[in-house]
Structure formats: C-alpha cells, structure tokens
Amino acid sequence: MYLKKLVIPVLCTVLGTVLFSCRSDTKQEPVNKAYTTWSSYLGDSGRSHYSTLSDFTKENVQDLKVAWTYEAKDWGQMQMNPLVVDSILYGVTAALRVVALHAETGKEIWQFGDSIQVWHSTSRGLSYWEQGDDKRILCTRGPHLYALDALTGKPIPTFGDKGKVDLRSGMPESAREKFVISNTPGSIFKNLIVMPLRLSEGAGAAPGNLMAFNVLTGALEWVFHTIPHPGEEGYDTWEENAYRSDEVGAANNWAGMAVDEELEIIYAPIGSAAPDFYGGARKGSNLYSDCLLALDANTGQRLWHFQFTHHDLWDRDPPAPPNLLTVEREGRKIAAVAQVTKQGYVYVFDRKTGEPLFDIEEVPVPPSTLNGEEAWPTQPIPVKPKPFARQSTDITENNVSPYAENPDSLRAILRKLDKRIYAPPSLEPTLLLPGYDGAAEWGGTAADPEEGIIYVNSNEMPWIMQMGLNDTKLETLPLGEATYTQYCSSCHQADRKGLAASGFPTLVDIELRKSREEISSIIANGKGMMTGFPQLKPREKDALIRFLFNQEIKHNLVEKTNAEKGYRTPYKHMGYNKFLDKNGLPAIAPPWGTMHAINLNTGEYIWSITLGESPELLEQGITGTGTENYGGPVVTENGLLFIAATRDGYFRVFDKHTGATLWEYRLPAPAFATPAMYEVNGKQFIALACGGEKLGTKKGNTIIAFALE
C-alpha cells in the first residue's frame, strides 16, 4: 500500500514551538520525581501507575497476604483507583458513596452520600488537593462536582453552592438539560481542577468543552472549546456553526488527563464527536475530536495537538490518560508523552513541541458507501511501535477459534465481513478488531517514567459493526414505543432481549426485577455503560416506563406520539454485537487478552504474554487463552508488575523484566480497576476494589489490601 508522509503533525507543532520559546518559566529537562505516594489518580499527575516502594520483591511477593478488607453497602462494579493520603485511603463504592478508610486497617472513618440519592453510574476515583491545613477531596455525583473536607467528609460550604458546582456551567444554555456527568477524576494543577466529562454519544449530545474550576471557590476559570467557535483555529474542520448545532456534540475528554507540573501543561486526550458511526452532519476532519491536546494549564490556551482519527466513524476515542515519561534518543533525554489507543497503536511525542518521536504515516483508507457521509481519505498510523493487538486485516478463515464447536458457520460469517483497516460503517457487516471497547482500555497504561518503558494490557475481542436504514416512522408509534425505538433499541434491541454477551441486559419482564422509581433514575442518570437521558420530557419518560412495563398493552395506556422527535440520522447503528462462537467465547483464535512491555526508546517490544484464563475452557484443562480485561497495572522500580482486571477474577504479579508469573490470588470478585500502592507507618500495602458484575461476573462489594506479614 502506498504510504504518504504525515503533514498534519508538523503543522500542529509549529505553534507549540513558538509558544514555548516565549515562556521563560519553562524547564527544558525532565525532572526526576519521587514515586512513594498515591495521592493522585493512577499514582501521580503523569499517570504512571508507578511506585519506588521496595518492600515487595521478586523473592517475597509470593508471601503477600490479605491485610484487611472493607465491605461496602453497595454491590456491583467498582472501577475506582483508590487515593491514599497520610494514613487515609479514599475510595468510591458502586453507588458513588465516597468512603474514607484507615489505610492500615480498613476501618471506616467517614462516608459521604449515605443519606442522599443512590446513583447507578460508575466512578474511577477521586481528586485530592491541599494547601496548608485545608485538605479537600473532589468528587462527582450526576452533573455536580463536590468539594469535601478530607478529614470529615462534609461538603465545604464556601465551594460553589454549599459545596457543589454544576459541571454544565461552562456550557451553553442548550446543554443544561442534557446528559453531563464525570466518572473519571479531575486533574489538579495549582488551585485548579480540570474536569473530564462523560456525555451522550448520540445526536444532540452536549459539547465537550474542557473546563477548569477553582478548587477554593468553585468558580469557572477557563474553558477550551473542543468544537471550535467562529474565529478559533479548527473552526473550518467542521460544517459551519457545528458548535451550536442540535445535531452535533461531544468531542469530550472522558478518559482523564495528565499534568506536567514543571512545564505547566495539561495533556488531554479528546474523544470522538457525536453522533457516533454516522458523520453526515459533521463533515470535515473534526478538530479537536480524537486529539491529544496540550494546553497551558494556567489559561487553557492550546500549545499543540495531534489528531489520531480524522472524522471518526468508529468511536475510536483515546481510552485512557497519556503517560508522561522520559525517553532517550541518540544519548539525549527527552520529556515525552505517550498515548495508547483503542486501535492498539502507541503514539509518542515530544512533550514540549508535539513533535512525533516515531514516524507517523497517513495511510489511504476506504471511502464510505452511505449517502451523505464523507469518510476522511487517510488515517495516521505510527511506524513504531507495532500494534499491541491484532488488526482486522490479520484475520482469515484460518483464524477461527480452535475451541469453537461451530467453526464452519463462523468461517461463513468471516467470509462476508469487510476486514479492511478503517473500513467505514456501512449497510454490510464489518469486522471491528480491536473491538468497540478497544485494545487499550480506560484502566490505563503503566510506565517506568525514567526508563521510557510502558506496560499495557490489551483486549482482542472481535465485534461486528453494521448500519441499517433509520426508516421507522416514529409518528406512527405510541409514544412509549417511539421513545424506546429512538433511544434504547440499538443497545437493548427491538425485541427488548438485549445483548447479554456485550453487556446490554434484557429488558423483558423488567417490571419483575426493578421498581418504577429505580427505572426512572436509570433513565435519567444512566447506569454502567448506559448514558442517561435527562432531556426526555416527563410525558416521554412516563410513556417509556409504561412501554417497558407492558402497561400500554395490559391496561390500554397508550399515548399517541403527536410530537416532533429530535434529530435522527438517516442510518442507525445496529447494535454492539460481539463475534462469538455458540458457547459465547470469541470466534477468533486466542489470545483474547494480552500484556505487553514496550521500550519507547527504541519502539521495540521487550515481552508479550497472554493475560488471564477463560473460565469455561479452564474447566476443560485448556489454558493460555487470555481473557477480556478492564483495569490497569501497577509497576514498581524494583521489578514487579501487579494487575487484576481479568474476567477470571485473579490478582497477579509478573516480573516486569520478563513477563514471568510470580504470584496469583483468587479475589472475592473480579477487580475491574487499577490498584493503588502505598505505605503507612513504614509498612507497604497494595489495595484494589473488587466489584465484579462486568462481563457477566458475580457482584462484589469489597475493597481489599495486601501486605507482607
């Protein structure tokens, strides 16, 4: 295939170089840091997942024992990475209750949220800020950011409105009734907190503005428009007035950010624009969606950017914060930033200028066949490192799983799938590998920040992507069914049976399992992967619940639509369908989950191993398959790598130099979360949240800590 050298990164780095030449306070060399605490999300502001604590060694790690456990009131998925400050561990339960525990014993000190609404969305953790005796925990519930006294858990009355601010305060008025939450911790810089946002992924989503709030007062300090306004650079990469369109939105940072406190730069990976999968209303390359943005942390001014996916039609938003680390080139140390992606690519840049540290080539990709769609003709692919997950082009009929009982039917399906790289969504089925959730996940990547090595866990779950004509005439349906068809059917299917293997439960007989009040809360606020729909009018919401509860049929409570529905794309996504064999396992040959150590000084792999086991095959004595995994690793200076994350529910320790297994422990429930390593009173601990529930696993409610006796 003909490859054309990338032009965009060069253009994007010019402004960064000019701006840096004007900043007298800029430090020009990487600064060594101590990594002995865990007071920031994923360990430090560079999101390194790294510790220099050394009591755990390769020789004694097999002697780790449970030091304490804490049982939360709420059961279910906990994605949170704990924080530890002094002797207190801070965490978030499945229902978004914030808890403060004694980090040495697990004894509860305080809890926030016991007497207010129980939430159903997930949280990946908290933010911590201190100035003298003023110590604060920053957390979110629904669309609000709270500031809590870190020692008592009580809201700080001088922050915003009696301890909370509305995350929509930096958005246009039209966004005030749209789905806006944050389930990833904000990034602290000086007296600012810059907030990630989770938004709807459909037409009509709120805009993904990056917003910095004052930690002391809650005041909005700066806003960066990820969908540019007139006069702002990038405005011409969208259709005119896209920033205020009712059809277009998102381009939000949802995965979190990294902060270089010395250079005073925040690095924000920006997600895809909405609506997903069909971009007919947002023609253009769509800056700054799918970008790594480097902003002046004081002002929000753009320094440089790089776009990973032009005019994203695949929901290929960066899934985790970038890693700040030092790499060596020709004997010179370079402060670098590395971003892993759902595609399995790693992009590495000079932290100051945005210059790529490995060549990136613009590769021609297929055009769209959907009316009104204009897929971008090329996509940027790094020459090094090679992808850490198989691509759709790697799969042939010979790659059907050797454990499948229906290989012939799977081969027949494979023959019909479009397996070209970046094949755009169409009316014909396409193999999406890595899948929708990606190779890299939101758990993030660990890094040896001074050695230039990253450690990334990856999924290789194949999915089938397909579009259909959006030709249902909603005005002919009862209001409840019309509302379900527009907002719910792509995930839960027209027959309400869901896609259990993909994480979308059946809604058949939902009235026997959940109350009207609980369903109403989930519709408004979301749950797990599901975004909320607060924009629904009361009559639409009531009609939807009647439809779900079959009351329209049973009691003839049918209300005609008689209302104009919101914007609808001419094509609809046909659902998140995993490509599975008849037993519910991936249809392609293993490995299905992997772990990699990549040297970013050279772009070469140090080692790659399978991660986890498939419980169904393990019962038959079949090992080495790997399994789906969500949650990241922790790596230590003295050679250990800790990770849970896997569907099989084990906590494992590997030799970071070789990938050899050193220890494993069966958890009370799978831990789809990143651990935290810390020290209290001279004793080293590692703690993680075991909530299970995801991937059909059993629910848990435990935070568990390990130590040496």
Average of pLDDT values for 223-237?
Answer: 97
pLDDT, tens digit (0-9, with 9 covering 90-100), for 597-618:
999 999 999 999 999 999 999 9
End-to-end CA distance of the chain: 58
**334: Cβ contacts below 8 Å, ≥ 6 apart:** 30, 326, 327, 328, 350, 351, 357
Q: What is the structure's pLDDT at 12?
A: 46
Mean pLDDT over residues 537-557, rounded?
74
Q: How far apart are CA 633 and CA 676, in angstroms?
A: 9
For residue 295, which of 327, 347, 253 has the smallest C-alpha distance? 253
Q: What is the DSSP string of 443-455?
A: T--EEETTTTEEE
Which has the minimum average pLDDT: 17-26, 204-213, 234-243? 17-26
Asked if 528 and 77 touch (Cβ cutoff 8 Å), the reply is yes
For 642, the 3-state DSSP assignment is strand
Closest of 324, 320, 294, 268 to residue 33, by C-alpha: 324
Is-contact 32 319, C-beta < 8 A?
no
Query: What's the CA gap between 59 and 261, in Å, rounded?
Result: 36
Closest CA to 320 of 255, 389, 251, 253: 255
Q: What is the pLDDT at residue 33?
A: 63
Please report the pLDDT score of residue 435 as a whole number. 97
pLDDT of residue 114: 66
Polymer length in residues for the chain: 709
Strand partners, 328: 333
Q: For position 567, what pLDDT does the model report?
A: 63
Q: Is 18 exposed, middle or buried (0-12, 13-18, 19+ CB in 10 A)?
A: exposed
Query: Are the beta carbons of 392 and 423 closer than 8 angstroms?
Result: yes
Average pLDDT score over residue span 58-66: 98
Give a three-class secondary structure readout of 24-82.
CCCCCCCCCCCCCCECCHHHCCCCCCEECCCCCCCCCHHHCEEEEEEECCCCCCCCCCC
Q: What is the pLDDT of residue 586?
A: 98
Q: Which residues contact 44 (CB under 8 A, 6 or more apart)?
A: 33, 35, 50
Mean pLDDT over all residues of the chain?
Answer: 91
> Are 676 and 81 spatial neighbours (Cβ–Cβ below 8 Å)?
yes
Please report the pLDDT score of residue 23 as a whole number: 43
CATH superfamily, domain at 471-568: Cytochrome c-like domain (1.10.760.10)
Does the structure show a pLDDT above 80 at 19? Answer: no
Write down the residue that tokens 């490192």 correspond to.
385
Crossing angle between the packed helical segments 538-548 and 516-525, to the nearest 10 degrees: 130
pLDDT at position 39 is 97
250-300 pLDDT, tens digit each = 999 999 999 999 999 999 999 999 999 999 999 999 999 999 999 999 999
Tell me if 329 sits within 8 A of 336, measured CB to CB: no
State the DSSP string of 143-184: TEEEEEETTT--B-TTTTTTSEEEGGGGS-GGGTTS-EE--S
Q: In 3D, which of 621, 578, 591 has the Cα closest to residue 401?
A: 591
Greater confidence (28 vs 168) lies with: 168
- Determine which helix (DSSP H) or strand (DSSP E) holds 327, and give its type and residue range: strand 323-329
Decide: 528 and 122 in contact? Cβ < 8 Å.
yes
Q: Position 302: which residue type?
A: R
Q: Region 315-326: what's the mean pLDDT? A: 98
Cβ-defined contacts of 42-45 (< 8 Å, 24+): 42/81, 42/256, 42/321, 42/444, 42/632, 42/674, 43/634, 43/676, 43/677, 45/187, 45/188, 45/189, 45/258, 45/259, 45/260, 45/261, 45/324
Q: What CA–CA distance (Å, rounded) separates 626 from 605?
A: 19
The answer to which of 40-54, 245-259, 321-335, 507-521 has the lowest mean pLDDT is 507-521
Query: Is the Cα dihedral 96, 101, 103, 106 positive or negative?
Result: negative
Least confident of 339-343, 357-361, 495-499, 697-701: 495-499
Reading phi first (left if > 0) and then psi (alpha if -120 to 50, else beta), residue 474 is in alpha
Q: Which of 294, 275, 378 is nearest to 339 (CA)?
A: 294
CB contact at 8 A, 287 and 272: no
> Which phi and psi angles does 258 have, rounded to 5°?
-120, 150
406 or 540: which leads in pLDDT: 406
Give the C-alpha separation, 629 to 651, whole Å: 12
Q: Residue range 489-506: average pLDDT? A: 80
Phi/psi at 691 (5° precision)? -105, -20
What is the C-alpha to C-alpha distance for residues 86 and 80, in angstroms, rounded to an integer?
19
Q: What is the pLDDT of residue 50?
A: 98
The answer to whether the beta carbons of residues 40 and 83 sit under 8 Å apart is yes
Model pLDDT, residue 486: 81
| 3-state DSSP assignment of residue 504 | strand
Q: How far apart are CA 199 and CA 205, in angstroms?
A: 6
Task: Return the C-alpha torsion angle 385, 387, 393, 396, nearest 10.
Answer: 120
Q: Does the structure show a pLDDT above 60 at 424?
A: yes
Mean pLDDT, range 677-691, rounded to an integer: 98
- Is residue 661 classed as helix, strand or coil in its secondary structure? strand
Q: H or E segment at 544?
A: helix 538-548
* Residue spans in the chain of domains classed CATH 1.10.760.10: 471-568
**pLDDT exceeds cutoff 60 at 22:** no
Backbone phi, psi, residue 21, to 5° = -65, -20
The separation between CA 452 and the C-alpha centre of its own chain, rounded to angstroms, equals: 23
Which range among 422-426, 447-451, 508-512, 692-696 shows the weakest confidence by mean pLDDT? 508-512
Position 491 pLDDT exceeds 80: yes
3-state per-residue secondary structure call for 374-441: CCCCEEEEECCCCCCCCCHHHCCHHHECCCCCCHHHHHHHHHHCECCCCCCCCCCCEEECCCCCCCCC
Using an 8 Å Cβ cutoff, are 45 and 261 in contact? yes
- Kindly state the average pLDDT of the residues 359-364: 98
- With beta carbons less than 8 A apart as the criterion, state whether 702 and 71 touch: yes
Over the stretch 658-672, which tens digit does the pLDDT of each residue have? 999 999 999 999 999
Q: Which amino acid is at 109?
A: I
The answer to whether residue 344 scores a pLDDT higher than 60 is yes
Q: Is the pLDDT of residue 144 over 80?
A: yes
CA distance 668 to 353: 46
Asked whether residue 455 carries a pLDDT value surpassing 90, the answer given is yes
Instruction: Examine the pLDDT at 10 and tell me if it is beyond 60.
Output: no
* Rounded distance between C-alpha atoms, residue 425 and residue 579, angstroms: 16
188-209, pLDDT tens digit by residue?
Answer: 999 999 999 999 999 889 999 9
Q: At what angle do helices 538-548 and 479-487 cross, to 10 degrees?
A: 90
**The pairing of beta strand 634-636 with beta strand 50-51:** parallel
Q: Which residues contact 117 (CB under 8 A, 6 or more apart)?
A: 141, 521
Q: Where does the pLDDT of residue 17 fall: very low under 50, low under 70, confident under 90, or very high at 90 and above?
A: very low
Tell me: pLDDT of 527 over 80.
no
The pLDDT, as a whole number, for residue 118 is 57
